[in-house]
Amino acid sequence: MKKLALACCMVGGLAACGGDGGSDHPTAPPIPPTPPAPTAPQPPGDLLSVACTGCGALDANTYAGTSVGVWRHVNATAAPVDVPVNIRGLSGHDVTLVFTNQGAEPQAMPALPLVPKASASAVGKTWRLDGEDSAVMRRVGEFNAHGWARLAATRPLAALEAREARIAPRQVVLNESRTWHDAEDQPHMATLLRQSQASDGTVVNFWIEDAERGPAKVSDATIDALAASFLGPGKVYDLLTHVGGPLWGAHGYAELIPGAGQPLDIVILKLTSDNPSARLMGYFYSRDVIRRSAGLPHSNEAVGFFLNSESLYAAGDAALKQAASTMAHEGMHLQNFYRRGAGHGPKYLFDTWLDEATAMMMEDFAGHAIDPAVNDIRDVRFRDYVRIRNGMYNCSLTTWEPFGETCESYSVSGSLGGFLNRQLGAGFFSRLLRDVSSEKSLEVLDAAIRAEATGAGLGEQLRRFSATAGALMRAADSPPGYGFPARIDGALRLPVIDPQNLAGLRALTQTVPTQLQPYASIPIVRPAMHGIYSERVSVPPGTALSVVIQ
């Protein structure tokens, strides 16, 4: 444009000079500048982009007609953004819009039309804990999260080590009895029935409440089977220490029981009152590793955890396998307390949602060693995530509501944990357990993810999980970065999880909620679309939209 304007000025100037003025011809009028050619209007840049590789998404507007295709828009602004979605190539395919809140504040959801879709009936309140179980879990959970933090105070390590040397743990022998206090401070007399040594030399004791021992309750054979599932080569104890290190050891806190020479006590008590359907399988109670005092008169001063004897009455394979999985779960809680709380300080303890997530992730990894045909994430957590009520989609990851009125947090944390296990592997899990780069659990999880998946932190992994779970993405052709693929990391094996197997169990919401909860998602399905799918979608601030076609 600058060159053209300069040339026009030069031509006009020369014509206006008119030679020497002696011409009989009138001066020619200036030549007008040549107007620029009209420019065709440019279409706005595509707000929706392809979010998978080697998949059914060919470009921002084209579906290949086969395989799973994923597109996305991440609204990083502070205002809603209208995203035009225009994708051709559909022939009876389902389109799922998945909104994922990647931030800590709830976001207002737009008004969206819902297409009725035949689905299963939602599961109602039958999955809730009864009052007794719920009260015990609340008490244990609250103390594990905050109890020791209120009591902790450091002392010089040298003085502590000298004190520990004077009060080494007393060694117990088979058939010795002692009183154990449960989480409600009730006493139980129990006897040491089995004493074994783990592969690292740690003594492991199995105690059984005297009134719970017998052929009709917990038999000696059941105790033997529990010990084998926990201590056998490559079994639960070996996997726990392989992934997360020792369950107890040296520390710098005089308020805790000594770090050296402690056995691991697995104590089987009747933790519920004649309730065959009790869901309480067991617990780790951090009160018990704190020294007894006037404020804590019922500390058992022992490193270990409890199992509920009632869950073992059946004495069948299923009960034993569930108990073995529970030992992996509670062992991780104990390990987290030692590694993070005693090792670095109470401020580094995980928030409950992440502490429980890691315990379920450990169950996930230990499942194959217990029974290759059973997997707790596949068979319980993710199944409940999809089928309870209208799904646990709009349930915040960071708000702990176990068996609540609208949300079941075990299924939320466990399902995401199972996804991360399969996508990022045992190395990520081990790094997460040890990461003390921050006192904030969200930041720790984000840092561990970024160390394994460059450029993709928690927000992106949460979006991919939400797209997988919200669309019930097929396992057979889930793109890389999506789905629950099978994985092998040395001795740690994870089975594939196919969300499509749960399609008949899911009941989607028939009303769009007014708010999308923090770190939560909502799927909206457009079933059996043909030709071009076209819709303008308003995406809330801090929210990612995933469009999944399959």
Secondary structure (DSSP) of 477-535:
TPPTTSSB--EEETTEEE--B-GGGGGGG----SS--SEEPTT-EEEEEEEEEEEEEEE
pLDDT in the model for residue 508: 85
- Per mean pLDDT, which of 121-135, 166-180, 199-213 is the most reliable? 199-213
pLDDT in the model for residue 31: 36
DSSP code of residue 39: P
- Band of pLDDT at residue 19, cut at 50, 70 and 90: very low
Q: What Rg do the C-alpha atoms of the chain give, in angstroms?
A: 31
What pLDDT digit, counting tens, does each position of 398-452 carry?
999 998 888 999 999 999 999 999 999 999 999 999 999 999 999 999 999 999 9
pLDDT in the model for residue 28: 38
Give me the percent of the chain exceeding a pLDDT of 70.
85
**SS3 state at 380:** helix
What pLDDT digit, counting tens, does each position of 70-102 carry?
999 999 999 999 999 999 999 999 999 999 999
Classify residue 181 as exposed, middle or buried by CB count within 10 Å of its CB (0-12, 13-18, 19+): middle
Name residue 386's amino acid.
V
Instruction: Kindly tell me the sign of the dihedral angle through the C-alpha atoms of 479, 481, 485, 490.
Output: positive
pLDDT in the model for residue 74: 98
Task: Return the higher-pLDDT residue of 506 and 15.
Answer: 506
Q: Map out the domains of the chain as residue ranges.
A: 54-117+350-550, 131-146+172-345
pLDDT, average across residues 57-64: 98
**SS3 state at 49:** strand
What pLDDT digit, counting tens, does each position of 229-246 carry?
999 999 999 999 999 999
d(CA 203, CA 66): 57
What pLDDT digit, counting tens, does each position of 299-341 carry?
999 999 999 999 998 768 899 999 999 999 999 999 999 999 9
